[in-house]
A and B are shown apart, each in its own frame.
Chain A
Amino acid sequence: MGFRNYILVCGGTGCESSKADLIYKTLIEEAAAQGVADQVQVIKTGCFGFCEQGPIVKILPEDSFYVKVRPEDARELISEHVIKGREVTRLLYNKTPKKPLEQVEDIQFYQKQLRVVLRNCGVIDPENIDDYIANDGYVALEKALFEMSGDDIINEMKLSGLRGRGGAGFPTWMKWNFTKQAEGDVKYVVCNADEGDPGAYMDRSTLEGDPHSVLEAMTICGKAIGAHQGFIYIRAEYPLAIHRLEVAMKQAREYGLLGKNILGSGFDYDIEIRLGAGAFVCGEETALLQSIEGHRGMPLPRPPFPASKGLWGKPTVINNVETWANVPVIIARGGAEFAKVGTQDSRGTKVFALTGKVKNSGLVEVPMGTTLREIVFDIGGGIAGGRKFKAVQTGGPSGGVITEENLDTPIDFGGLQRIGSMMGSGGMIVMDDSDCIVDVAKFYLEFTRDESCGKCFPCRIGGKSLYNLLDKITIGNGTEEDLEELKTIAHAMQKGSLCALGQTAPNPVLSTMRYFPEEYEAHIRDKKCPAGKCKKLIRYQIDPSKCIGCTACSRKCPVGAISGELKKPHSINQSACIKCGVCRQTCKFSAITIE
Chain B
Amino acid sequence: MSRRWYEAGPLPAAHTTRRRDTRLTILASLAAAGGLWLLQAFAGGYVVHMTCVAALFAVLAVSYNLINGVAGQFSLEPNAFVACGAYVTALLTLSPAEKAASFILEPIIWPLSVISIPLLPALLIAGLLTALMGFLMGFPVFRVRGDYLAIVTLGFGEVIRVVANNAQAVTNGPLGLKGIPHLTDLWWTGGLLALTLFIIVRLVNSSYGRALKAVREDEVAAEAMGINAFWHKMLAFTTSAFFEGVAGGLLAHLITTISPSLFTFFLTFNLLIIIVVGGLGSNTGAFLAALLFTYGGEWLRVVEEPLNLFGLHIPGIPGMRMVFFSLILVAVMIFMRQGLLGRREFSWRWLWAVLDQRRP
The answer to whether A and B assemble together is: no
